[in-house]
Amino acid sequence: MEWLRYHIKPEREELPLDWGKIFGRESEMRVEIGFGNGEFLLHQARKMPEVNFIGFELSITSFVKAQKKFYRYGVENVRLVMIDGRFGLRELFPNDSVSHVYINFPCPWSKKKHEGRRITHGDFVETLAAVLKSDGVFELMTDNRQYSQEVYDKILSSGLFRVFPVMVDKRREVQTRYEKKWLSMGRHTYLIRAEKVRSATVERIAWGGEDVHQKIDFLDSGKLKLLVGKVFKSGKKVFVVKEVFSSSNENTHLLKIVSSDGGFEQHYNILVEKHRDFWIVKLDNTCQPYRTPSVKWSVREISKKISLT
Ligand SMILES: C[S@@+](CC[C@H](N)C(=O)[O-])C[C@H]1O[C@@H](n2cnc3c(N)ncnc32)[C@H](O)[C@@H]1O
């Protein structure tokens, strides 16, 4: 399982990450979001061994395929994070730290009701302008002309980038899996290239995410069971209690939670544990979420709800 070494899990690390420590060297950083089976990342990493490459991907299947590929080629300068790239780019890097960000053939999510799923949605352009170095480059290739126009307009209107005219059917040294697929079907490709000219500020919601422990004197286990299915909402924060499991002596309870911060979803467990004459409510360490506002709020809110007053 040596090929697993590319996968890093920064949920418990202090943010932004210390990339020099992770790679064992300080070097230029380039990021690819949605690397799929890893063709582009592999090609770039082999061509520029002096650069540190970071890839974000959500699909487990792609993640495994790409890792095996990097291992086969003995690549040393790549690290991968299984995370929504929009969150990863904003939360894992300090300002002015990345030289290039690439996206190849993102799903355009053409329907209006799905626009929130587009990689370039929300504060993405501001995030780019925060984490890219001055003159840093963003490149996005797509087979969807309308989407390319929308991204072009969005970047241009931000005033944060110098945007080059969209390059139609530009061939690069490597073709990704989706690029080959669309080309074999006779489709055109559109390459957007933009260079940062001004910085922007973005709010980092997971930085300084201290641990959340709550102490309560008495537990109302009746109230605990009633939490199943309950949805809690406040501004951009949402969480739902999916299930509650209890030990036979009722001294330990585990609540399965799904939370969201403006669409960034996480699944984790909250542990309610009896100590000598009090109870502790905390995040269970089996699956660790990023300490976002909704995660911290869920621990605090649940302690309040289950406390016997
Ligand atoms: C159409 S595929 C393109 C894959 C590859 N770039 C290529 O050109 O062959 C889009 C990829 O982006 C990934 N993806 C979609 N949304 C993402 C997100 N928010 N963060 C990271 N990866 C994402 C998907 O899992 C999928 O592998």
User: Using one digit for the tens of pLDDT, what is the confidence trace for 26-78?
Assistant: 999 999 999 999 999 999 999 999 999 999 999 999 999 999 999 999 999 99
Of 58, 64, 81, 102, the one to substitute when testing ligand 1's pocket (max ligand atoms within 8 A of C-beta) is 58
Better-scored residue on pLDDT, 303 or 208? 303
CA 198 to CA 135: how far, in whole Å? 9
Q: Is 267 helix (H, G, I), strand (E, B) or coil?
A: strand
**Would strands 132-142 and 52-57 be described as parallel, antiparallel, or unpaired?**
unpaired
State the average pLDDT over residues 242-268.
95
Residue 103 C-alpha to ligand 1 middle, in angstroms? 8
pLDDT value of position 223: 92
pLDDT value of position 190: 98
The atom number, within ligand 1, closest to the CA of 181 reads 9
Strands (E), the chain: 29-33, 52-57, 78-82, 98-104, 132-142, 161-163, 167-168, 190-196, 213-216, 231-234, 237-246, 252-261, 264-274, 279-283
| pLDDT, tens digit, 9 for 90 and up, residues 167-198 | 999 999 999 999 999 999 999 999 999 999 99
Residue 56 C-alpha to ligand 1 middle, in angstroms? 9
State the average pLDDT over residues 5-29.
95
pLDDT value of position 116: 83
Query: 264 pLDDT exceeds 80?
Result: yes
The atom number, within ligand 1, closest to the CA of 84 reads 20
* Residue 303: C-alpha distances to residues 87, 213, 237, 257, 269 (Å): 28, 9, 17, 14, 14
CA 126 to CA 129: how far, in whole Å? 5
Average pLDDT along the chain: 95
What does the block give as tokens for 129? 């302008």
> How many Cα atoms within 13 Å fall on the side-chain side of residue 114?
7
Q: Closest residue (by CA) to atom 15 of ligand 1?
A: 34
CA 258 to CA 265: how far, in whole Å? 7
pLDDT value of position 216: 95
Burial of 171 (0-12, 13-18, 19+ CB in 10 A): exposed
Residue 142 C-alpha to ligand 1 middle, in angstroms? 12
Residue 57 C-alpha to ligand 1 middle, in angstroms? 6
The atom number, within ligand 1, closest to the CA of 59 reads 25
- The binding-site residues of ligand 1, defined as CB within 6 angstroms of any ligand atom, are 33-36, 56-59, 62, 84-86, 104-107, 119, 176-179
Helices (H) and strands (E) in the chain, counts: 9, 14
Residue 179 C-alpha to ligand 1 middle, in angstroms? 12
What does the block give as tokens for 34? 């949605």
Q: Closest residue (by CA) to atom 27 of ligand 1?
A: 36
Q: Closest residue (by CA) to atom 24 of ligand 1?
A: 34
N residues, the chain: 309
Q: Closest residue (by CA) to atom 4 of ligand 1?
A: 36
Contact present, 148 and 142 (Cβ < 8 Å): yes
State the average pLDDT over residues 200-210.
90
The residues pairing with 79 across neighbouring beta strands, listed in sequence order, are 54
Residue 240 C-alpha to ligand 1 middle, in angstroms? 27
Query: 103 pLDDT exceeds 90?
Result: yes
The atom number, within ligand 1, closest to the CA of 86 reads 19
Residue 27 C-alpha to ligand 1 middle, in angstroms? 26
Of 53, 56, 59, 177, the one to substitute when testing ligand 1's pocket (max ligand atoms within 8 A of C-beta) is 59
State the average pLDDT over residues 14-27.
97
Of 119, 184, 185, the one to substitute when testing ligand 1's pocket (max ligand atoms within 8 A of C-beta) is 119
* Residue 285: C-alpha distances to residues 81, 232, 268 (Å): 19, 23, 9
Q: What angle do CA 180, 182, 185 make, to 5 degrees?
A: 110
Global pTM reads 0.94
pLDDT value of position 35: 98
State the average pLDDT over residues 281-289.
91
Q: Is the dihedral of CA 46, 47, 49, 54 positive or negative?
A: negative
What does the block give as tokens for 244? 């509650």
* Confidence class for position 113, pLDDT limits 50, 70, 90: confident
Query: 308 pLDDT exceeds 90?
Result: no
